[in-house]
């Protein structure tokens, strides 16, 4: 089976600024991967390119061997870094909408998770706090039986207890054949669930390694390696 995500000479320029520069990556299936880097390093750009929300300036990006398009969108579940849902909709309307458009959406899972987090499905998004909205967004994304989950800062705006719940949810809903790519800078929180890390800085990949290798060979935690590599 092909790698779930493959980048080849991937470059993205915004005017004069090069957000991604000749990125070569191969992410295998069945892994939880951390895409780690300081602000503005190109993490979100890479993820947006995988979702066809940006077009590459150069190079290619392939999801399951295909270029981003309708087929890849069916198997990719994406959580953006922002509130992107229609504010006026109720949670149950959103669940209905996701069920309508995505064949692999599992509404029961969604309702279960909402119940655990004590979120009322009848509530309108407009009336929720930012943190609650983010939880709803995450629930919708994780309720899909996708092959690739792209989570851009999933735990940033959320309290520590909910963070734990979210990470547990990711682990629990994790289908062995699926890959989860989490982009974040809250490394110590997620370090324990990661299999593999990609360090990215100023649009270039500086390190790729399995977490085990880092711990065994370098004898450090991912968090301390990060601080070392990205020292200001």
Which chain residues interact with other proteins by CB under 8 A?
A: 14-15, 48, 51-55, 70-71, 73-74, 76, 78, 80, 82-86, 88, 97, 100-102
Q: Cβ closer to other proteins: 102 or 165?
A: 102
Check: CB of residue 167 under 8 Å from CB of residue 190.
yes
Whole-number Å distance between alpha carbons of 154 and 26: 22
Integer angstrom CA distances of residue 49 from 11, 57, 58: 10, 10, 11
Q: How far is the CB of 73 from other proteins (least distance, A)?
A: 4
Q: How far is the CB of 83 from other proteins (least distance, A)?
A: 7
In sequence order, what are the beta bridge partners of 149?
77, 180
Q: Cβ closer to other proteins: 10 or 194?
A: 10
Q: How far is the CB of 61 from other proteins (least distance, A)?
A: 14
Integer angstrom CA distances of residue 180 from 2, 17, 170, 216: 16, 29, 8, 23
Q: Cβ closer to other proteins: 23 or 140?
A: 140
Q: How far is the CB of 219 from other proteins (least distance, A)?
A: 40
**Could you tell me the two tokens for 24?**
């070569």
What distance lies between CA 111 and its chain's CA centroid? 21
Q: Cβ closer to other proteins: 51 or 106?
A: 51
Q: How far is the CB of 54 from other proteins (least distance, A)?
A: 5
Closest CA to 140 of 174, 176, 112: 112
Whole-number Å distance between alpha carbons of 199 and 52: 22
Instruction: Output 156-161 pairs: Cβ under 8 A, ≥24 positions apart.
Output: 156/81, 156/184, 156/186, 157/130, 157/131, 158/131, 158/134, 159/131
Q: How far is the CB of 69 from other proteins (least distance, A)?
A: 8
Q: Would strands 58-63 and 196-201 be described as parallel, antiparallel, or unpaired?
A: unpaired
Q: Cβ closer to other proteins: 53 or 171?
A: 53
Q: Cβ closer to other proteins: 104 or 175?
A: 104
């Amino acid at each position: 089976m092909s790698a779930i995500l493959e980048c080849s000479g991937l470059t993205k320029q915004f005017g004069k600024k090069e957000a991604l520069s000749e990125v070569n990556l191969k992410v295998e299936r069945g892994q939880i991967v951390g895409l780690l880097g300081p602000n503005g390093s190109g993490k979100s750009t890479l993820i947006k390119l995988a979702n066809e929300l940006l077009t590459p300036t150069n190079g290619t990006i392939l999801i399951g061997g295909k270029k981003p398009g309708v087929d890849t969108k069916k198997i990719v579940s994406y959580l953006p870094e922002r509130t992107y849902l229609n504010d006026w909709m109720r949670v149950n309307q959103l669940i209905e909408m996701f069920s309508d458009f995505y064949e692999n959406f599992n509404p029961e899972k969604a309702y279960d998770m909402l119940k655990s987090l004590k979120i009322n499905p009848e509530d309108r998004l407009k009336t929720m706090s930012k943190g609650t909205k983010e939880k709803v967004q995450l629930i919708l994304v994780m309720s899909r039986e996708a092959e690739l989950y792209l989570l851009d800062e999933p735990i940033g705006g959320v309290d520590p207890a909910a963070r734990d719940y979210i990470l547990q949810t990711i682990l629990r809903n994790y289908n062995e054949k699926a890959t989860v790519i989490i982009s974040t800078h809250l490394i110590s929180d997620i370090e324990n669930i990661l299999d593999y890390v990609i360090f990215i800085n100023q649009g270039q990949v500086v390190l790729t390694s399995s977490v085990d290798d880092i711990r065994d060979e370098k004898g450090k935690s991912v968090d301390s390696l990060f601080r070392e590599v990205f020292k200001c």
